[in-house]
C-alpha cells in the first residue's frame, strides 16, 4: 500500500537482494503471513509484504476501538482500504480481533452497563463486523487473550479466565456468546481463539479444555463446531523452549481444530543492537520453529510474522523480525527459508542469550528501605518489557544472610490500581526463586513466585512457600517501594552460592487490567512455572 494508493499494492523498487520468496517455500504447507501496520506502506514494506507473504493481518485497524469508537458509529474506511489492497495483491486476509480487553471502547462494557446491554453490545459488534467483511476475510481472531497466565487449575477453564470487563459484566459465557455472534455474521470464515504464552503448559491446557467443552456443547453451528482454530501468538525469545511449542501444537491439533501461529517474532538484541552471535542464535531458533511448523503442516493453517522489519516492530529495540531496519534479510530469514541447512551450518551458534548475573552482598537489612546496608547493594534494572505497553519499570537491590534473601524494589510510573480481584492484574512486584539454579521446565522444591502489590498484599505460587515470608510496601504518587524477606527453603547459602532469580513488575491500567510487564532477565513469559530463563545471583561474603 504505497503512498497515494488506497486500494492497491504495487510492487516497490527492486529488492536489495533477490532471494526465494518465503511463501513459495511453504506454499504446499501453510500460508505465510505478516502484519499490515497502517493503510499506507512504503515501497520497501510493500515489496517485503507482497513478495514473501501470502496472507496479511491488520495490526490495529480491525480492532474494536478503531471500528466502533462510539456506539453504532462504525468506521470501516481504513480497514476496508487495507483489506481491498491485500486482496488486490492476491493475498488472503485474516481478521483481528472481534473481542479483546484492550483497545476496546469503554462504552461497550464500562461500569454501570447491565449484563443484557453488554451482551447486546458484544453481539452487535461481532456480528456486524464479521458480516461487513464476509467473503473478504478467511478467518477471524474472534476472542483475544481471555485466559490468565499459568492458571493454577487449568482443568477449570472458567476459573482460568482473565477478570476482564467482559467477564465482569457478562460472566464466563461471554466466550460462547461472541463466537456464536461471529458465526452468525460470517458462516464461512474460520473462527479462532487467539492468545500469547501458549507454550506454557497450564495456559495451553486451559485453552484446550475451553475449546473442547464449547465444541462438544456446540458441535454443529452453521455446519461445524463453534471454534475452528487456536491461534498461538508466538512472541518468543532466545530462551523459548521449542519442545513446549511443539507440545501445544500437538495438543490443540488433537481437538481436530486448525492451529495458526499468529504473531511470530523472536526477541534477541538489546537497545536496537543485534550482535552477530545474537543474530545467528535468533536464526537457529527461527529454523527450529519452522522445522516444527512443517512437521505439523497438516494441522497448521498459517504462520504469520508480526513485523515487516525490525524498525516497524512493536518490539523494535530487541530486533525480533526477519528483516533489519534497512529491509535486508537477517539470518532469521534464512533460518526460516531452509531450516535444516541453516541449523547444520550454525550448530555452534544456537546458544541462548547470556544469562544476567548480579553479585549479592552479605547483610541483614531492615525492610523499611532506609537501612544503610541497602546503599552497598548493586542496582538490578527491571526494564525489559514483555508487552506492547511500556508501563511501570524499576530497579531492585538484593542482600542475603544465613537464613534469608532480602529484596528491595523501587517501581516508577505505576498507576496504583488494585481494583481487579485477581492479584496478577494489580500493580505489583514478583520475585522468582530457583534455589538450586536447576533451570528446569517446571517448579521443583525450593522454587517459587512471590508477589506483593503496592498496598503490601502478598500472594504465592505455590502457596506452601508463604511460611516465614515478610514484606513491607510504601507508596507516593506514581512511585512505590516493596521490600521482601524470603527464607531459604532447601539450601544452606554460602559464599559463592549461585541462585536462580528474576524480578517482574506488573503495571495495571486505569481500568484495572494488567497491561505492562517488565522483567530483569527472563523474556520467555513463562517465569511462573519454568525456571530455565531466570537470571542468577552470586552470593558474596
Sequence-distant (6+) residues with CB within 8 A of 78 are 39, 61, 66
Distance, in Å, from the CA atom of 161 to the CA atom of 172, rounded to the nearest integer, reads: 7
Q: E strands within 154-289?
A: 190-195, 229-232, 235-237, 258-267
Sequence-distant (6+) residues with CB within 8 A of 301 are 30, 31, 139, 190, 229, 258, 259, 260
User: If you count them, how many residues does the chain have?
Assistant: 541
Choosing from 141, 195, 310, 435, the catalytic residue is: 195
Distance, in Å, from the CA atom of 528 to the CA atom of 128, rounded to the nearest integer, reads: 39
Cell numbers of 335, please? Answer: 533460518
DSSP state, residue 422:
S
401 is catalytic: no
Find out whether 94 and 304 touch, Cβ atoms under 8 Å: yes
Cell numbers of 217, please? Answer: 456443547
Please say whether the dihedral angle defined by the alpha carbons of residues 459, 461, 464 and 470, taken in this order, is positive or negative.
Answer: negative
Find out whether 80 and 36 touch, Cβ atoms under 8 Å: no
Choosing from 44, 80, 141, 145, the catalytic residue is: 145
Which residues sit opposite 191 in a β-bridge?
140
Find out whether 49 and 41 touch, Cβ atoms under 8 Å: yes
Q: Is 427 helix (H, G, I), strand (E, B) or coil?
A: coil
What DSSP element (H or E) covers 52?
helix 43-52
Which residues sit opposite 77 in a β-bridge?
none
44 is catalytic: no
195 is catalytic: yes
153: number of Cβ within 10 Å: 11
Choosing from 149, 263, 425, 522, the catalytic residue is: 263
In the chain the first and final C-alpha atoms are separated, in Å, by 61
Cell numbers of 192, please? Answer: 479462532
Half-sphere exposure of 478 (CA within 13 A, CB side): 12
Residue 477 buriedness (CB in 10 A; 0-12 / 13-18 / 19+) = exposed
Find out whether 205 and 153 touch, Cβ atoms under 8 Å: no
Q: What is the distance of C-alpha 380 from the center of its chain?
A: 24
Q: E strands within 363-420?
A: 380-382, 384-385, 393-400, 404-412
Distance, in Å, from the CA atom of 345 to the CA atom of 338, rounded to the nearest integer, reads: 11
Estimate the crossing angle of helix 242-253 against helix 201-217, to 10 degrees.
10
Q: Which active-site residues does the annotation give?
A: 145, 195, 263
Amino acid at each position: 500500500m504505497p503512498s497515494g494508493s488506497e486500494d492497491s499494492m504495487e510492487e516497490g523498487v527492486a529488492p536489495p537482494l533477490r532471494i526465494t520468496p518465503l511463501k513459495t517455500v511453504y506454499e504446499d504447507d501453510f500460508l505465510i503471513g505478516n502484519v499490515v501496520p497502517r493503510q499506507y506502506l512504503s515501497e520497501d514494506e510493500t515489496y517485503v509484504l507482497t513478495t514473501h507473504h501470502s496472507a496479511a493481518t491488520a495490526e490495529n485497524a480491525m480492532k474494536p476501538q478503531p471500528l466502533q469508537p462510539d456506539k453504532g458509529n462504525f468506521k470501516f474506511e481504513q480497514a476496508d482500504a487495507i483489506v481491498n489492497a491485500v486482496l488486490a495483491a492476491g493475498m488472503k486476509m485474516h481478521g483481528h480481533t472481534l473481542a479483546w480487553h484492550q483497545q476496546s471502547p469503554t462504552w461497550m462494557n464500562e461500569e454501570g452497563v447491565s449484563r443484557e446491554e453488554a451482551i447486546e453490545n458484544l453481539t452487535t459488534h461481532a456480528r456486524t463486523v464479521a458480516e461487513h467483511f464476509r467473503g473478504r476475510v478467511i478467518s477471524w481472531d474472534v476472542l483475544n487473550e481471555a485466559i490468565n497466565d499459568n492458571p493454577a487449575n487449568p482443568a477449570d477453564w472458567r476459573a482460568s479466565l482473565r477478570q476482564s470487563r467482559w467477564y465482569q459484566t457478562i460472566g464466563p459465557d461471554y466466550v460462547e456468546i461472541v463466537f456464536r455472534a461471529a458465526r452468525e455474521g460470517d458462516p464461512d470464515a474460520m473462527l479462532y481463539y487467539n492468545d500469547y504464552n501458549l507454550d506454557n503448559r497450564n495456559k495451553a491446557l486451559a485453552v484446550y479444555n475451553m475449546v473442547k467443552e464449547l465444541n462438544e456443547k456446540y458441535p454443529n453451528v452453521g455446519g461445524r463446531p463453534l471454534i475452528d482454530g487456536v491461534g498461538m501468538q508466538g512472541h518468543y525469545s532466545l530462551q523459548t523452549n521449542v519442545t513446549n511449542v511443539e507440545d501445544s501444537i500437538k495438543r490443540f491439533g488433537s481437538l481436530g481444530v486448525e492451529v495458526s501461529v499468529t504473531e511470530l517474532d523472536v526477541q534477541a538484541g538489546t537497545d536496537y543492537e543485534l550482535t552477530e552471535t545474537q543474530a545467528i542464535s535468533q536464526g537457529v531458533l527461527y529454523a527450529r520453529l519452522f522445522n516444527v511448523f512443517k512437521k505439523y503442516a497438516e494441522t497448521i493453517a498459517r504462520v504469520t510474522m508480526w513485523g515487516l522489519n525490525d524498525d516497524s516492530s512493536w518490539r523494535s529495540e530487541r530486533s525480533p523480525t526477519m528483516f533489519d531496519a534497512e529491509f535486508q534479510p537477517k539470518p532469521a530469514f534464512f533460518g526460516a527459508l531452509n531450516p535444516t541447512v541453516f541449523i547444520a551450518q550454525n550448530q555452534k551458534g544456537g546458544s541462548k542469550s547470556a544469562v544476567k548475573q548480579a553479585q549479592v552482598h552479605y547483610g541483614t537489612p531492615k525492610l523499611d528501605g532506609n537501612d544503610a546496608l541497602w546503599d552497598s547493594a548493586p542496582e538490578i534494572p527491571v526494564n525489559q518489557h514483555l508487552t506492547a505497553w511500556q508501563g511501570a519499570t524499576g530497579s531492585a537491590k538484593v542482600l542475603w544472610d544465613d537464613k534469608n534473601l532480602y529484596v528491595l524494589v523501587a517501581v516508577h510510573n505505576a498507576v496504583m490500581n488494585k481494583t481487579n480481584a485477581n492479584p496478577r492484574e494489580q500493580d505489583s512486584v514478583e520475585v522468582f526463586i530457583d534455589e538450586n539454579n536447576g533451570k528446569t521446565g517446571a517448579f521443583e522444591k525450593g522454587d517459587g513466585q512471590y508477589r506483593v502489590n503496592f498496598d503490601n498484599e502478598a500472594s504465592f505460587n505455590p502457596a506452601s512457600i508463604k511460611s516465614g515470608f515478610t514484606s513491607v510496601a510504601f507508596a507516593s504518587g506514581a512511585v512505590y517501594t516493596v521490600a521482601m524477606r524470603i527464607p531459604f527453603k532447601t539450601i544452606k547459602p554460602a559464599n559463592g552460592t549461585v541462585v536462580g532469580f528474576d524480578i517482574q513488575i506488573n503495571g495495571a491500567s486505569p481500568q484495572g487490567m494488567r497491561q505492562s510487564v517488565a522483567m530483569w532477565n527472563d523474556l520467555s513469559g513463562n517465569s511462573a512455572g519454568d525456571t530455565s530463563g531466570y537470571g542468577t545471583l552470586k552470593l558474596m561474603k
